[in-house]
Structure 1
Amino acid sequence: MAERIRRSGARRPARGRRQGPAPATGCANFCVGTRTVLFGGFLLATTALAGTPASADGWTIAMSAAEALWPVIALSACAVAGLVALRSRRVAADLGARMDKAEAEARDAGAAAARARAEAHAARILLTAGAPAFMAWSGRTLPVDVHGATPEAFRASLGAASVDLDRALEQLRREDGTVSQLVETPAGPVRLEGRSLGGAGVLLLRPAEATQVSAKTEAADFAEAERMAHGLAAALDAAAAPAWLRRPDGTLVYVNPAFATAVGAPSAAEARTAGLDLLDARIRSAALTAEGTAGTFRQRVKAVASGQRRQMDVVEVAGPFGTAGIAIDVTGEDVAKAETARTVAAHQRTLDQLTTAVAIFGADERLVFHNAAYERLFDLAPGLLDQRPPENEILEDLRRRRKVPEQADFRAWRAQLREAYRAIEPVNDWWHLPGGQMLRVVITPNAEGGITYLFDDLSEHLALESRYNSLIRIQGETLDGLAEAVAVFGADGRLNLYNQAFLALWSLDAQAMGDKPHVDAVAAMCRPLYGETAAFSRIRQAVTAIGPRDATTLRIERPDGRVLDGATQPLPDGGTMVTFRDVTDSVKVERALTERAEALEAADKLKNAFVGHVSYHLRTPLNTLMGYADMLREGLAGPLNDRQRDYLDHMRQSSDLLRALIDDILDLATIDAGAMELDLAEVEVRELVLSVAEAVRDSVDEARLSLAVNIDPAAGVFVADARRLRQILFNLLSNAIAVSPEGGTVTLGAIRRDGALVFTVRDEGPGVPAEVKETLFDRFESRSAGPRHRGVGLGLAIVRSFVSLHGGSVTVGPASATRGAPSGTLATCIFPLDGERRREAAE
């Protein structure tokens, strides 16, 4: 109980005591001062620890937790000591009062009971002054009386504080003493005070004084603020972002470990002591200017942190006792933004290369992005799309140009499209456009709102699919119409495709083929017809081979006498096509022709041997006849008359012709036998041409013709068989002389041209008929083309054979016509100057 109970006019001053101010007044004054000190210290500590404004005007106290806490502790200790002293004084005063009262009651023990009751009544009045309700009892075992309210209402007004009431009541009834404490009731804080003496006592409730409530509240607030300060300090110490507190002069009073790391200091204390700062002087000056006007500095600045140049968002807040700031590293954010921008640009470039049309609409239903395929597909004006039009406007434009499906209720259809903005799953649709296009449309809702349209123009795809199906049917019909048996095996070795000819050729059941049997199973079904040959082993190897595969051919002679030609062809998809063709009749004809060819070859060899043998034996008597004719012409047997000499000349000419014929036959036989060898050497072209011209001079004069020789000065020499070359030119000139009309001119020429030596023989005869050109160089082909033409038709065949042996070519055609002259015939022989080519032809 905070106040003494006095009996008005019934007590004298205590002996040995001097009168002074009431203890309650001194206590109150001391408490007010103490509470004021505590409250100020509390504000100082909470402001420093929490780093937040301690009053409504927004001031901050830039002090560290240690700087603020020690003054508070000291002030609190002084206040507590004063309260203890004050409480001791009050207790001593109360004990003295009780002792005075006991002494007075002992001296006045004989007073009347009426006086005692009057005093008790007066004391009760004094005790309950200002108390709304109280409890009193006269003995430890006597009942407790409640005054000022009913017992039920008294306890109900306390609420949860009734437990404290019961505890205090039990303590006072058990032993003499006092109780004084502050309890919380539903109506607010109330002070519970009680006293017991000699078994009697009183327990009352008084309204709590403002200073008492404030002290308790401030203590709780201080404890809470201290916890918050420690929590905030721990959070800042653990934060990855540099944080600091400055005094008004800019001196650092607190930095966290992240700040120390950023400035390269071993610890926060060393960073603060050394005065290391994260921000340069220019930024601090700008911050000071901003804080002086707006109270807060916010700016993205460049700073060096941990030895690296970084981008940081700096926030610094000013107060009356300094500033508090934090720097957040946003370098990664800038890099991420730049990377995101590059990624988006790359994606846009990629989407522009797609054939699929893409259009993205935002949550506001306006066009956000479109690729080039979208613009091409719907033939949209670039100016319209650059304005980010709403989807409704684009749909209206497409509807006007008949680029969307025809709809009986366009508004309902458009409203249905807009449902995609609230959908969760993608929507698939098909648009049949009036122009015949078929579009596959996929509408996908975006996570950030809006939708994405994907348009695939499948018109060509569907047309190709239709054509493909038609082609497959046509191919199937075509395969069934083929005479060849066709079977296609897949990469897994199973039969995928076959025609009717395959079934018929191998007597297979179509139902058994429906299960796509393996090549081994097909081979087992065909085994009765092909026997034990290794043909199907080669087919199986071609079908199931893993490595490189080549096309193969094979022949199967079945036991039933049929002959089949088979072939395997690897396919691009890993499969293998196998074909069978019945060549039984062809093989029979081939074998017959082979036997006939062998017989003809044997007969030809016999003929060549016979011709060579006969020609050799004919040359000997011919040489004898020619020798005796020469002897007779020389007059060795006596003088000859003109008729005899004429007979001998005819005999000599006939012998020369017969010898030339025999030589030609022997040469052709040698060529056919492959035994002809050229005697290659350097040949002087001019000498060769002149010698041949001189050899035919008599024939030219006899035919009353003219012989012209044209030799290119650059002809020079070339490698050839001179004897065979003379024979070629002699035969060509003889043929030209034979067909030329009397008085005509035969021209022999030689020229070097285009890496070859070209010999030409030109006559003025009737030319070569078209029907004769194809057989002109065949053997024994003789055509009466002039008055002096005769022979068995071996000259030109000899020419072609010898020219071919030299690696050259020979042609006969009409000569260039001159005015008033027949066109004649031009024979051209071309001999390559490439020695290797001539040697290969000769070999």
Structure 2
Amino acid sequence: MVNGWLTRRGKRLLAAGSALASLALAGPAHAAPYLATTEVVTGSLLLGVLSAAMISAVWMIRLRGRVEAEHRELRAHLSDARHTVSRLQALIGDKNRRIVMWDGLSGKPEFLGQLPPETGAPQADRDFLAFGRWLKPASASEIERAVEKLRSQAQSFDLVVETTREEVLEAQGRVSGGQAFVRFVALNNLRAEAAGLKLERDRLVAALTTLQGLLDQIDLPVWQRAADGSLAWVNEAYAEAVEAKDAAGAVTEGRELLPTIAREKIRATSTYDTPFRDKVSTVVHGNRSFFDVVDARSASGSAGIAVNVSDVEAVREELVRTLKSHAETLDHLATPVAIFDGDQRLQFYNQAFQTMWEIDTAFLESKPGNGELLDRLRAAAKLPEQLNWKQWKETALSVYRAIDTQTDLWHLPNGQTLRVFATARPQGGATWVFENLTEKVDLETRYNTLVQVQDETIDHLAEGVAVFSPDGRIRLSNPAFRALWGISEAEAKSGTHIRAIEQACAPSYDKPDGWKRFAHMITSFDDERPSCQGVLELRTGLILDFAVIPLSNAQTMLTFVNVTDSVRVSRALTEKNEALRKADALKNDFVQHVSYELRSPLTNIIGFADLLKTPTMGDLNDRQSEYVDHIATSSAVLLTIVNDILDLATVDAGIMELDYTEINLTDLIDDVSMQFADRLHDAQVTLEITAPDNLGTIVADQQRLKQILIKLLSNAANFAPPGSAIGFKCWREGSDLVFTVSDRGPGIPQDVLTTVFNRFESHGRHGGAGLGLSIVESFVSLHHGTVKIDSHEGRGTDVTVRIPSATMTSFAAAE
């Protein structure tokens, strides 16, 4: 600005100098025309330059004076500003307030002033903003959140905070001129008191809110009433009980939980010192309920709470009913029972008690004392006589001071024996139970006599008997046991462990399958203790048939019978049977060999017979054709018999294997019926098949199953009279196939039924080899099935077969 002013002044000075020069040139031209032009111009320029220099000098002098005046004025303003700042810093920087300022979000804080040391505020700037070190946790978190919102969102605040030294500070946050500042002020007495009251009010409000929140979470109806008796506040349980939408709705609608009579009673009886306490009946959710109500009055109104005791009432009633039922149960017991209260007076007795002691009802209903009752029974000579009655009575009545149950035996003068149980009751008093042991003592006497008789009986048995307890110790043994094993009575005395018995018996028998096995079975912890039988052959030559028999009370009895003679006879019979078996095997081998030898020529005969019937061999007359047919038929029958014998021989040898496949039963029946049609025509009978539409499938050997069906149908055709029908009924039971072949023939006599499955037994009118039913039984057994014959003379025969379904596996025939 100064440079611009100087330029404008310089231009004006140059213009003035040019004008003066022009005047100078013009003047001499008129005054002295005789001057030369060059000299005039030179003089004018010099004069103009001099004039401009003089004017510039004057202007610079004036400008310098003006600048110096402005500098003096600026120094005065600066001095005044510094004085003002000093006064403001002195005003702010007292010891009752401190200001923290931030310039933007990233600016470092600046601090002004200090707080009194008694507040506990740090004096160092770096520690002041660590509010958690000198403010209470609630105040520290609150001021930190407020400062963050002040700096980030320019949100002002006014807070009252507490230091750890219980001092109260006022915190104000503001934003001005792009700067955020927080002022902490230590309050004077009046303001500190007001701030303390505000904190106290906040705490009370928070406590009230917490209390109301807690009351909203409990399931007990709680309410608060104003001075005029109207509802001022209720909790959620109250709102639910009165079926209101919420607690505010219950207050607005004035829904009452208690009936009018109960509220009037509360208003009339409740005082400031004595709150109302009583049980009130009301209806909640349509059900009658009982509440224990407590309502306390205050100057501003009242407050109450209701505890639902409906369940308690129900339990109390149930207890009354239980006690009554208990009394009725005790009254029907055969065991005498008497109950005395804490004052030792009779409160309850059952009919058995009165009957046993024969006491009149009037005396018992008078609730006599326990001691008085004992004296009356003694006077009636119903109690056992004692040498010191007083001491015995005191001992009996000490049950009222005892903790454990007292037990005693009373031998009454009438011959009865009682076991008396006296038990102190938790609520005071005692319960007396009298158990009649007379019959038990008599039974024990009879039992002991029986045991003695049994001991005598066991001692005279020819069998060796020994009884062991669960711990393996012998309880008793008879002389026969000791004689068989060659041990002495001392070695087998009661209480001897079985391992000692084993050592004593070792010279006669020491194999692991003997006494070690017995010891394991006797001392085993298995839930089920199975019996066991077997035979032992001792070194002495004796053969013993033993049995391990579990007894009651986890005891075990060992019995040993000398079967030496019978075993020797059995062995002789076994040897004879083995010889017979070998002879039978030899017979089977012979039959098998012959069958194989017959099969080859039979095949040739059948082949040549079929060849003779072919036209290429020439024509045969009628008689020749008939002979050829007889040859073919007889050869086929003979081949069937040979094949049956071979099948039986294969089964007996144990080498037959079943070819398991999945069989469609409907197709199988159709195939059998078609193949058997000619046989039915020859026998002049019909076949009636009864089977469901869908029999499904079964896993079995199709060829063998087909043979079973054909053999049974052939057998039925042999028995069925001409013109009759053979019944074939088939059905499923689970996965099993069950079928029955029946005929209305003459039937099989009962004495023959046991031999129908024997080989070479023929019972049909057409004779035969008698192998059909044997093959049926063998093939059914290979399929793990069953076959059953039901026949009555004159009514026919029914053969029922059950074939279970197997898995797709080959099974070898058992021997």
TM-score of the superposition, structure 2-length normalised? Answer: 0.49
Higher RCO structure, 1 or 2 (CA under 8 Å, sep 6+): 1
Higher Cα radius of gyration: 1
TM-score of the superposition, structure 1-length normalised? Answer: 0.47
